[in-house]
Structures are given as structure tokens and as C-alpha cells.
Structure 1
């Protein structure tokens, strides 16, 4: 089966879980990746034109709208797009789009492009980053998160850190049941160098879990299981860059 088709099918199956469960039941999103990403974004987005590149069920899209942005949200999965539309209604433009293909936007459209845990599903980043550069206004910002290369290398016990390779994993979620997810692993130097070909890198963040939710009763099990590990072993990587 075509790799893109496999990703679409997997995330179409996962869409209900993302819509109903991720915000409250996935600590890696709610208490780890999202707080770290939001700390690196402008807190006032009035007048900003924002692209949510890989919007999933629309959590980030909703945050940007609340902060005053004019938002366009895209995702490869039609079911994720529908979930995002249910979340934000007509407050954003939301449609299916393949980030590996030319983007359907005019030059210098966006002030900010945000891509949360999406780019590791794309094999060749160079065309995607050229398109991000093309559709971004001068001085605009790019903020993205991906799997940390150290995590993938260690977790999957790979023999060659420097390989760029396709990995598979079974995710067993509450609504979808077991779903095979495929994504690409690449070394840190590839992540940095491909980004630097088009953008000026401002900072690299290896996030640690937010302590802001540690006393939340709904979060206690996740913190007991993951807090110590994620404060000593990076799981995600965030890159902030500008044009």
C-alpha cells in the first residue's frame, strides 16, 4: 500500500480518539508537548495569519483562534479535518492538504506556521520547507515539534543512529483499538540542516513535562509513570525558526 495512503487510513481510524480522548487522556500531549509549544508562541495573536500545518482534531487551531489569530488549518486525514471543523466551526478555514505537495496558498501569506508532531510522517522535508518559506511573510516564524531522534533510536533499538528510515508501531487506543502507525526517523543533523536551508533557527527545545498540571487528579497516573523518565530522557524535539 502507498505510504501516504497508510498514514491517511491510520489517522482516519484515530480521529475519534483524538477528538474525544487526547485532550484529557494523553499526557504526552496535554502535559508535555502542548505546554512547551505554547510557551514559544506569541500570547497575543491579534492580526496574525496562522497556518496550523497538521491540525489533527484542532486543539492548536482552537488556541490560536482564542488568541485572536486568523487561522487556516490543514491535515492529511479527512476524518481529522472533520473533527477539527466540529471543534472550531466557521472560525477557521479547515481542509485536507498534503504537506508533502505544493501548498495551495499565495506567496507570503502567513505570519506564523505551526506544525505539531506532524513532520515525522513526511519522508523528504526539503520540498515542504521550501513551501513553508514561500508562503511565509518576511520575518515570520516557524515552530514545529517532532519525535526526538534520540528517543526513536533508543525506543526502537535501531542499529544505526544516522539512518533515515521508516518505522512502524502499533497504537492501541480506546476508540480505535490497535492501529499501525508509520513514520520516519532521522538524525538530529538532518532535522537542523534541512530547517537551516530555508530558515534562521532561533532555538532548539528538548521539552520536559510541565509541572503546572502535576496536582491535577486526572493527571496523577501519567505523572507517576512518566515524569521521572521524561525529565531525564527526551521524547519530543521543538524547533523555533524565522524567515
Structure 2
């Protein structure tokens, strides 16, 4: 996400679905003016601990209208957020509204091929379908629900909202992953994991 964002010095950035704030912090450290939103007050409390009291953080659900003026931001980042939503249309329309002309949406999602292959029997790749599973976090199982979309449905949603596709990326793991996840780095480097988009809001 940071590599795709490039030089963000002085740019007004909305971190949509900021969670506990790691991307918000990294963008702020690089000179951006960052506002974070998340539907979870608990996640925002963690972000507040990370970012301090001066951070602009708001409880907001991406399914609802955003509490910002038209053209309020130069960029919107949405890191591993959109795949929680069945219908991207209203969210992308609001994202487009709060971006200035020429602004960018930088988004990442689970790679659609991964979402297709993790369950058996395999679902219809071309259908938008929900799937649920559990993650073990801090010793307890946490239920999760994501939505599968084929690649063309993603790009169709972006263009229908008025965005122009500038880049699609399937990046390799950061070199630090070799030390952090030594048992997993081979799979991370040889199988599709995530898909990244840079979308421009034409002037």
C-alpha cells in the first residue's frame, strides 16, 4: 500500500477501515494528513493508543454515507476492507464523492483466486457469494465473513463508480516476511494472496 501511494507529503488521506491504525500511522509518518474511520469503536480505541490524542479518528460504517464534504481528500486507502462488503456500489460512490478531482483510491482485497480455492466443493468463480470461517486470535475463535467476487466484478464496480483503473498489483512479500513468517514465506511468495488496485478519480 505504501509503495503504491508513493510520496504522500502534505496529501489529505482517508484511511477507510483503518482498524487499529498501522497504515494510518505509516502514512502520517511519511508526511500525510490522515483521517481514519472504522465501524468498530474498539478498533478505534486501539488506533488511539497507537496514534495519540491528536489523530482524527471517527466511527463510521462504509455501508453508510461518509461524514465528509465533497472533495475532502486527495487519496482514500482501503486496505483489506472491501471484501467484507457484498455490494461495493454505495461505498465506492461515497469514496468517489469525498475524493477531489484527480484523487486516488488505493485498495487491497483478498485475491479472488484464493477466495475461490479455500473451500470445497469449489464455488462458482463467476458468482458473488459469501463465505464464513473462523480465525484463532489470542486463544479464541473469531467468526469472519467475506464476500467472493470475480475480478471482472471488481473492475466493473470501480468503473461504474466513475474510477479509472491505473494499476493492478500482485506484489511479492516484503523481505522482512522471511524473518517474521519463516514457515509461510514460500507459500506467500509462490501463490496468489492479495490483489492491489490504484484507481483514479478523473478531473
TM-score scaled by structure 2? 0.93
* Aligned equivalent of 1:89, options 52, 58, 71: 52
Give the gaps of 5 or more residues in structure 2: none
User: Is the 1:208–1:234 Cα contact (8 Å) retained in structure 2?
Assistant: no
- Residue 106 of structure 1 aligns with which residue? 69
Which of structure 1's runs of 4+ aligned residues deviate more than 6 A?
Answer: none
1:160 aligns with 2:124: yes
Give the gaps of 5 or more residues in structure 1: 1-36
Mapping 1:230-241, distance limit 5 Å: 230-241=188-199
User: Is the 2:84–2:146 Cα contact (8 Å) retained in structure 1?
Assistant: yes
Quickly say closer, same or farther: Cα 1:213–1:121, change in 2 above 3 A: closer
SS at match of 2:26: helix
SS at match of 2:52: helix
- Residue 128 of structure 1 aligns with which residue? 91
SS at match of 1:40: helix
Deviation of residue 68 (structure 1)? 1.4
More helix by share: 1
* Aligned equivalent of 1:142, options 94, 101, 105: 105
Residues paired across the two proteins, number: 199
User: Is the 1:65–1:91 Cα contact (8 Å) retained in structure 2?
Assistant: no
SS at match of 1:91: coil
RMSD between aligned alpha carbons? 1.3
SS at match of 1:90: coil
Deviation of residue 212 (structure 1)? 4.5
1:171 aligns with 2:129: no
Distance (whole Å) between structure 1 residues aligned to residue 123 and residue 134 of structure 2: 21
